[in-house]
Amino acid sequence: MQNFGLYIIGDEILSGKRQDAHLSKVIELLSARGLQLSWANYLGDIPAQITASLKASMNRGDIVFSCGGIGATPDDYTRQCAADAVGVPIAPHPEAVAEIEAQYGESAYPKRVLMADFPMGATIIPNPVNRVAGFAIHQHYFVPGFPQMAHPMIEWVLDTHYRHLFHQQDYIETSILVMDAGESQLIDFMNYIVVKHPDIKLFSLPKLDNRRTIELGVKGAALQVNSAMSDIKRGVAALGFPWLEIAK
């Protein structure tokens, strides 16, 4: 299964000056296409950290969206870090330059055009808001931090490059609500399920309510999930805990 990842870059997110709007939206965009987000990382404006993270995800072959840090101010490091991760220089991208010139005319120079400096070998991601493009290299897609720009650009990437993956993955998630139980009372049983069904992912989400309830579920390929869930229902009942189906 192809892994999709997300980087959200910028000290302003970590300091609380800006609230992240990307994580939930990217999950939504992927889910609507039958895809799942495998991981997400928040990164501060630390070039060495950004570069190391990009190298790692590129080496894994993940499909990654990166939001933020592609402007031309001194605190925008992402373009150079992407180039360093690939091992190529930064250079003006002709298509990106043309987009900025078309939008801003003479005022594209001398500063706005700097945002068309991309790693050598990159391709552009069209920006429908102001025509200042993002860029793509090694299945990594770099878009601005502004949600109004980033989200339609991510949609464009998915619909242009990954339509063949839509709704192709054998993946479901299902769960039940276990009542009158604490997680400590179910740990041994959960370990048994994980050992018996190693190809699925089990999750346990306790709820802070008066009755002590736990959402207990599994996700993965349909056949394995359905088998594991049958064992979970029988096992929970055998332990003496009532449970309810959770509508999806």
> What pLDDT digit, counting tens, does each position of 27-46 carry?
999 999 999 999 999 999 99
Asked whether residue 26 carries a pLDDT value surpassing 70, the answer given is yes
Quote helix, strand, coil % in the chain, to nearest 5.
40, 25, 35
Phi, psi of 65 (to 5 degrees): -105, 135
| pLDDT tens digits along 193-232 | 999 999 999 999 998 878 889 999 999 999 999 999 999 9
| pLDDT tens digits along 94-135 | 999 999 999 999 999 999 999 999 999 999 999 999 999 999
Token readout for 48 is: 């060495």
pLDDT for 210 equals 80
What's the CA gap between 70 and 117, in Å, rounded? 10
Across the range 182-194, mean pLDDT stands at: 95
| pLDDT tens digits along 64-77 | 999 999 999 999 99
Across the range 177-187, mean pLDDT stands at: 94
What's the CA gap between 41 and 10, in Å, rounded? 11
What's the CA gap between 122 and 100, in Å, rounded? 17
* Whole-model pTM over 0.85: yes
User: Residue 248 forms beta bridges with which residues?
Assistant: none
Strand stretches in the chain, DSSP E:
4-9, 37-43, 63-67, 90-92, 117-119, 123-125, 134-137, 140-143, 172-179, 201-207, 213-220, 243-245
pLDDT for 248 equals 64
